[in-house]
Chain A
Amino acid sequence: MFHAHNVIIQFEDENSQICTSFTVQPGDICAIVGPSGVGKSTLLSAIAGFETPHSGTLTWDGQDLVSLAVWERPLACLFQSDNIFTHLSVRRNLALGVPRELSNKECVLAIQEVAENLGIGAFLDRPASDLSGGQQQRVGLARALLTNKPLLLLDEPFSALDTETRETAIALLKRITKDYDLAVIIIAHDEADVTALDASLVRLYREPIS
Chain B
Amino acid sequence: MRLPHNDSGFTRLIWGTFIMGALFCLAAICLISLYQAGLADTNISSLLSRPYFGYVIYITLIQALLSVILSVCGGVLGAIALHRRWHWPLRRLILAGCFMAMIVPTTVAAISLLKLWGQSGFISLLGGSAIIPDRLGLWSVLLAHCFFNIPLIMRVCLSRLQSVPQGQYRHAALLRFSAGAYFRHIEWPAIRTVLPSVSGLVFLLCFTSFSLVLMLGGGPAITTMEVSIYTALRFDFDLSKAAVLCVIQLVICAIILVFIKPSSTNFASDNVLDAAPLRADHQSKIWLVGDGLLWFGLVILLLVPLGLLIFNSDIRGGIDFLSTPRFWSAFAHSVALAIGAATGAVTLAMSLAMAAAEAQRRHWPLLSRLVEFSHSLFLLVPALVLGTSFFILLRPYVAVFDYGFYIILLGNALLSLPFCYRILAPALLTHWHKTDRLCHALRLGIWQRFRLITLPALGAEFAFAFGLSAALSFGDLGIITLFGSQEFETLPYLLFQFMNRYGAAEADLLALVLLGSALSLYYISYYLIKVYRGLLAR
Q: A49-B280, A50-B170, A83-B167 are in contact. Are A71 and B175 (CB under 8 A)?
A: yes
Q: How far is the CB of A49 from chain B (nearest CB, A)?
A: 7
Q: A85 contacts the other chain (Cβ, under 8 Å)? A: yes
Those of B143-182 within 8 Å (CB) of chain A: 165-168, 170-171, 173-176, 181
The answer to whether B278 touches A96 (Cβ under 8 A) is no
Q: Are B185 and A96 in contact (CB under 8 A)?
A: yes
Query: Is B282 at the interface (CB under 8 A from chain A)?
Result: yes
Question: What are 30 of the A-B contact pairs (CB < 8 Å)?
Answer: A48-B170, A48-B174, A49-B173, A49-B280, A50-B170, A50-B173, A50-B278, A50-B280, A69-B282, A70-B173, A70-B174, A70-B280, A71-B174, A71-B175, A75-B174, A77-B171, A77-B174, A79-B167, A79-B170, A81-B165, A81-B167, A82-B165, A82-B166, A82-B167, A82-B168, A85-B168, A85-B185, A85-B189, A87-B189, A96-B185
A27 at the interface (CB under 8 A from B): no
B282 neighbours in A (Cβ, 8 Å): 69, 71
Q: Return the 10 tightest CB-CB contacts between A and B, nearest first.
A: A82-B167, A71-B176, A82-B165, A70-B173, A79-B167, A87-B189, A70-B280, A85-B185, A82-B168, A96-B175
Q: Which residues of B contact A85 (CB under 8 A)?
A: 168, 185-186, 189
Nearest opposing residue in chain B for A140, CB measure: B171
CB within 8 Å of B: which A39-77 residues = 48-50, 69-71, 75-77
Report whether B174 and A76 are in contact in the complex, using a CB–CB cutoff of 8 Å: yes
**Shortest beta-carbon distance, B506 to chain A, in Å?**
52
A147 within 8 A of B: yes
State A83–B175 Cα separation when bound (angstroms).
12
CB neighbours of A80 from chain B (8 A):
167
User: Within A85-103, which residues are at the interface with B (CB < 8 Å)?
Assistant: 85, 87-88, 96-97
Q: How far is the CA of A87 from the CA of B282 in the complex (A)?
A: 22
CB within 8 Å of A: which residues of B?
165-168, 170-171, 173-176, 181, 185-186, 189, 278, 280, 282
- How many A residues face the partner with a CB closer than 8 A? 20
Alpha-carbon distance between A42 and B175 when the two chains are bound, in angstroms: 20
Which secondary structure dominates chain B's binding surface? helix
Interface centre among A71, A79, A96 (most CB of B within 10 A): A71
Q: A48-B174, A50-B278, A96-B175 are in contact. List 14 more A-B contacts (CB 8 A).
A: A48-B170, A49-B173, A50-B173, A69-B282, A70-B174, A71-B175, A75-B174, A77-B171, A81-B165, A82-B165, A82-B166, A83-B167, A96-B181, A96-B185
B20 nearest CB across to chain A (Å) = 36
- Set of chain A residues within 8 Å of B166, measured between Cβ atoms: 82
Query: Which of B170, B186, B280, B282 is packed against the most chain A CB atoms within 10 Å?
Result: B170
Q: Decide: B280 and A69 in contact? CB cutoff 8 A.
A: yes
Q: How far is the CB of A39 from chain B (nearest CB, A)?
A: 16
> Using Cβ atoms and an 8 Å threshold, which residues of chain A touch B185?
85, 87-88, 96
Interface 1/0s, chain A 134-160, versus B by CB < 8 A?
000000000000010000000000000
B509 CB to nearest A CB, Å: 47
* Residues of A with C-beta under 8 A to B176: 71
Instruction: Provide the bound-state CA to CA distance between A76 and B173, in Å.
Output: 11
Contacts of A69 in B (CB 8 A): 280, 282
Query: CB-CB < 8 A to B189: which residues of A?
Result: 85, 87
How near does chain A come to B184, taking the closest CB pair, in angstroms? 9
B280 to nearest A CB, angstroms? 5
CB nearest to A81 among chain B residues: B167
Q: Is the CB of A147 within 8 A of B175?
A: yes
A83 touches B171 (CB 8 A): yes
Q: How far is the CA of A103 from the CA of B175 in the complex (A)?
A: 18
A147 to B168, CA, bound (A): 16
Minimum C-beta distance from B279 to chain A (A)? 10
| Across-interface contacts of A70 in B (CB, < 8 A) | 170, 173-174, 280
CA distance A141 to B189 in the complex (A): 23
A97 CB contacts on chain B under 8 angstroms: 175
